[in-house]
Structure 1
Amino acid sequence: MYRRDDVAVRQARLAEVVADRIIPQLLRLHTEVLPDAPPVELVVEALAPSSSDISGLAHVVLGSDLEAAARYVLVLRDRGLSMETLFVELLEPAARYLGQLWDQDECDFIDVTLGVARLQKLLAMFNGSHLLPELDTRRTVLMAMTPGDQHSFGANMVLRFLEGAGWDVAPAFDRTAAEIARAVGARWYAVAGLTVGSERSLPALEETIRLIRRESRNQMIAVMVGGPVFAANPALALEVGADGTAMNAPTAVLMAQKLFDEMVLKTAN
């Protein structure tokens, strides 16, 4: 079904009708007919993306109509939700949903890769970084494992998805912290991605991040981390000195784009 272009258009039109006609009427009735009802702010909060919104967007981006996907997000944004909220509650969960479809063999790798690439384009569109084509040449990532880790499967999957979304990715597996730091000092990278296998490696990860920030040619380099320990406790990413974490390889693409856009904004200011 998701390969039919008319499905994406019909979903976008339905969302527009809900946003333009039904929701305003509900809010008016809420104010005029139910004066003792909860504040409108609580009603708006309840209109945050639902599980059907998330799966709906995921199926739209599996199609080929990027404009329909953009309209889909625009309708939700017009509810009053910030782009940060949409990232956390819509775009990132949609990428995670695509990963689940792949895990369950409901989509092949190419389908999911293209879908995630379209989600990345949506994020760039709404953050405005797609208006600066010269930035495409700076969409670079150094992908590494925490020194001492032996399993590269997760890092390789992130690398494949990033490349599929158009990133220039340089692998730096089986490197020491000093070698990783020299690599980011020798070439400009927008993002450094690091995976960690267990809590035992967290001290080594923290030291590697410190060296990356000290030696990087790009002094505003963003660092994202991943691995089971961060899936269980995402707040741990900030504690080790990273800028963000991702639950799986598809969401890592969106996190890299988000960090890239934030860096562009800081540079412009």
Structure 2
Amino acid sequence: EILRRVVDSTVLPQVTPRYGIEQPLHVEADRDPRMASLARLLVAADPAEAFALLDVLHAEAGSLRASCMWVSEPAARDLGDLWASDEVSEFDVTLGLGRLQQSFRKLCLEADHNDRPQERLRGRILIAPLPGEQHLMGAVFDAEMMWREGWDTHCEFPEDNATLIKLVKRQWFDVVDLSLSLAFNREDWMQRMAQTIADVRRASLNPALVVVVRGRVFFDHDGPLPELIHSVGADGASTAAVLVVPSFQASAARS
């Protein structure tokens, strides 16, 4: 617990501006043994035990940032791993992610809002899952993080590319954040993501639009992350919610 708090308060602010885009940042300390059972509890018929454990883990994490890094996002990947090993169905994964999101929303309501800047000076950002993506947790996490950083945050869930394009045609955005599943590795969706980003850039009122992407596929990627980013036409990628801000800052500096 002490290690997690030190990393959250001291280490992350130092390393994320440096590594937010250049390479994936897999910051996972020795896993809490309780995390091994969390994914299975999340898909149980009665989620009471899962919610009780989440309450304890969130409290021990000590902050919303740490909870995302150490609890919620690893649990999402664990759900995906259970599916990959044929231990649960895709419906189970979706159910478990919904319960994780429910716990996160409760945590947000309880979190201190006093740290949020009083003035929105950082621009407008559109946060959305890639159209067709049924797992919405990445967008929800990113929206909360960016809102807390003082951004004018707009979180939408477009059902198709046409709906997404209408949004960027009608409103000015400085940044678009597109997310894929935090549980499943959507490597076969890269071409779809590239086409969506190209369409968004053509339609955007902002000719200097910055596009940041995220999802498990970027967390899992073993090769140079900039190559994967370039392949989909994005400016940057974040491998965790706490890296959304630094990855955008690095992307904007390069654009």
> Which of the five TM-score ranges fits, normalised by the shorter chain?
0.5 to 0.7
Higher helix share: 1
**1:257 Cα deviation from its structure 2 partner:** 2.7
Deviations 1:89-111 (A, max 9, x none): 8xx9999579x99x964333446
Deviations 1:144-193 (A, max 9, x none): 11111111011111111111111111112133112212211211111111
SS at match of 2:19: helix
User: Unmatched 5+ residue regions in structure 2?
Assistant: 33-53, 68-118
Distance 1:221 1:186 in 2: 14
User: After superposition, where does 1:168-179 map in structure 2 within 5 Å?
Assistant: 168-179=152-163
Distance 1:94 1:208 in 2: 26
- Equivalent residue for 1:247, pick from 227, 236, 239: 239
TM normalised by structure 1 equals 0.52
SS at match of 1:149: coil
Deviations 1:202-221 (A, max 9, x none): 22211110011101111111
SS at match of 1:245: strand
Name the structure 1 match of 2:86.
none
Distance 2:231 2:65 in 1: 35
- Pick 1 or 2: higher relative contact order, CA cutoff 8 A, min separation 6: 2
Name the structure 2 match of 1:141.
125
- Identity across matched positions, percent: 26
Provide closer, same or farther for how the CA distance between residues 97 and 191 of structure 1 changes in structure 2, counting only shifts above 3 A.
farther
**1:61 Cα deviation from its structure 2 partner:** 7.9
Provide closer, same or farther for how the CA distance between residues 61 and 173 of structure 1 changes in structure 2, counting only shifts above 3 A.
same
User: Unmatched 5+ residue regions in structure 1?
Assistant: 3-51, 63-68, 74-82, 114-134, 264-269
Distance 1:236 1:93 in 2: 11
Name the structure 2 match of 1:203.
191
Asked if residue 88 in structure 1 is aligned to residue 19 in structure 2, the reply is: yes
Distance 2:64 2:189 in 1: 33
Equivalent residue pairs, number: 174
TM normalised by structure 2 equals 0.55
Asked if residue 150 in structure 1 is aligned to residue 81 in structure 2, the reply is: no
Amino acid at match of 2:127: M
Distance 1:137 1:203 in 2: 34
Provide closer, same or farther for how the CA distance between residues 97 and 87 of structure 1 changes in structure 2, counting only shifts above 3 A.
farther
